[in-house]
Amino acid sequence: MNPTLVSLRSRDFASSASQPGLGGILPGYGYFDDNSWGYGFEVKGEKSPHWSGSLTSTSTYGHFGASGTFLWCDPSLSLCVGLLTDRPFDSFAKVQWPALSKAIIQSLR
C-alpha cells in the first residue's frame, strides 16, 4: 500500500462505508443485513463468508467482476492482492479466491 497512487483522503473516501447498515446482495454470496459499499469499493465489514477470505480484516475493501478478476486491499495488513483470470465468475471463485488469499497472507507471516 506504499507508495500510494492516490491520496489517503481519496482512498478513505472510496473505501469507507457510505451507507453503513444498508442491506443488500453480494453477487454469488447472497443477502447481508449490512452490505457496505464505499464510494467505489465493496467493504468487507462483518460479511462471512467473504470472497477475500477469513484472514482479512473488516476494513478490507475491493471489487470483483464477472470476468473472474478481483482486487482487495487490507489496510491492517498493508496488503493488496489482485487476480486476473479468463474464467467467468462462478462457484469456483467461492472456493479458490479465499484459499488463495489465505495462502498469500499465511506466507507473509
Is the residue at 1 inside a domain?
A: no
pTM: 0.92
What are the DSSP calls for 61-91, one per residue?
Answer: EEEE-TTS-EEEEETTTTEEEEE--SS-SSH
pLDDT for residue 2: 74
CATH code where residue 86 lies? 3.40.710.10
Mean pLDDT of 19-31: 93
Q: Kindly tell me if the per-residue pLDDT of 63 is higher than 90.
A: yes
pLDDT tens across 1-13, in order? 777 788 989 999 9
Radius of gyration of the chain from Cα atoms? 13
Site of grid cell 493488496: 80
Is residue 23 domain-resident?
A: yes
Closest CA to 73 of 94, 49, 33, 43: 43
Say if 3 falls within a structural domain: no
Q: State which residues form the domain around 74.
A: 8-107
